[in-house]
Structure 1
Amino acid sequence: MNKIRKGDEVVVLAGKDRGRRGAVLRRVDDERVVVEGVNRVKKHVRPNPLKGEVGGIVEKEMPIHVSNVALFNPAAQKADRVGIKVLEDGRKVRFFKSNGELVDA
C-alpha cells in the first residue's frame, strides 16, 4: 500500500519548492510523484506537423521523489508522517502519526 496516492494534498519538504502545497496529479513509479504546481520546468518542444503539434516553450511539472513530500494534515494544518495499520475487519488504512486520525475516513 502506498502512503502517498493520487489526489492527496502534500507539502514539499526539500528542494527549490520547499513549503509549497499541492495535489498529487499522478504517480510515475513507486518512488516518484508529480505534484500540481511543484518542480515546474520549461521544456523546449519541436513542432511536429504530422501530429499537428506547435513548437515552442512549454512549462510543465516534473516528478519529485516521495521522500521529499509529506501528506498535509488538515487537523494540525501542517505536514505529517503517515503510517499503515490493519483494522479489525482486515482493511488496511492510512493514519497520521501525530494524532492517529485516519487519512481515508
Structure 2
Amino acid sequence: MSDVQQRIDALVKNNRVVLFMKGSAQFPMCGFSGRAVQILKACGVSDLKTFNVLEDEEVRQGIKEYANWPTIPQLYVNGEFVGGSDIMMEMYEAGELQQVLAGQ
C-alpha cells in the first residue's frame, strides 16, 4: 500500500463519518460536494470529518483508486465506502442513508 493509500486508510478508519470533497463543509467548491454536505446535515450528522481534495493532489487521485470510484465527493461511514453524491441522494430519499449513519 502506497503512502497516500495509507493516509486515506487512516482517515477512513479513524473517523466515523468522512467525506472526501472539493472544498470544505463551510465552502464547498462544487455542486456535488455541496449537495453531499447538505444531505449529511439533513441527516443530523454532527461528527462529520471532511477532507478537501483540492488541497492535496495525491489524495485527490489516490481516493479514486482507494474505492475504485472515479468521482468526488466520496462518503465513508464506519470505514466503509457508501458512495458519491447521487448514491447519497438516492439512499437519503429511501431512508437508507439515515440507517447507515445511525449504525443500523
TM-score bracket for this pair, using the shorter chain length: under 0.3
Q: Which has the higher strand share?
A: 1
User: Whose Rg is larger?
Assistant: 1
Normalising by structure 1, we get a TM-score of: 0.26
Normalising by structure 2, we get a TM-score of: 0.26
